[in-house]
Amino acid sequence: MAIDHVAIWTAQLEKLKEYYIKYFNGLANEKYLNKERHFESYFVSFESGTRLELMQMPGIPQNLSDPVEKQYLGIIHLSFNMGNMELVNKKYHELKNDGFRILREPRKTGDGYWEFETLDPDNNRIEVSTIFRE
């Protein structure tokens, strides 16, 4: 069994799609449009087979979770495994240099990962990680 996809509501569909394509090598399908509901979406696929469904529709309220200070119950972050520490560090510098907020610098976690935390354009929390190897 495997997770097929995770869905994310957004108010900036194209920008979020481009972020996951540019920074995490995603591949997007053609935009799906439901004109009756004013619903638009993309599936962004990754090498692992997992996909993100990015969705936009008028009337969806803002999320009350603050990705930094006041989080609420529910899914709270996405994690991308880069495969090695060098690639994690490279992605850290790329995102930082491109102006994305870094919540936590690259570090070894207590459970054996090398990771940093950042935010995507919609302020969804993203972990970029790999298993720590000395």
Query: What pLDDT is stored for residue 24 in this prediction?
Result: 98
Tell me which residue of 122, 40, 131, 43 sits closest to 79, measured CA to CA. 131
Q: Is the pTM of this model over 0.85?
A: yes
Query: Rounded mean pLDDT of the chain?
Result: 95
What structural domains and CATH numbers belong to the chain? 5-56 (3.10.180.10), 77-131 (3.10.180.10)
Per residue in 5-56, pLDDT tens?
Answer: 999 999 999 999 999 999 999 999 999 999 999 999 999 999 999 999 999 9
CA-to-CA distance for 130 and 81, rounded, in angstroms? 5
Reported as a single tens digit per residue, the pLDDT across 52-83 is: 999 999 999 988 888 788 888 888 899 999 99
Cα(90)–Cα(118) distance, rounded to whole angstroms? 14
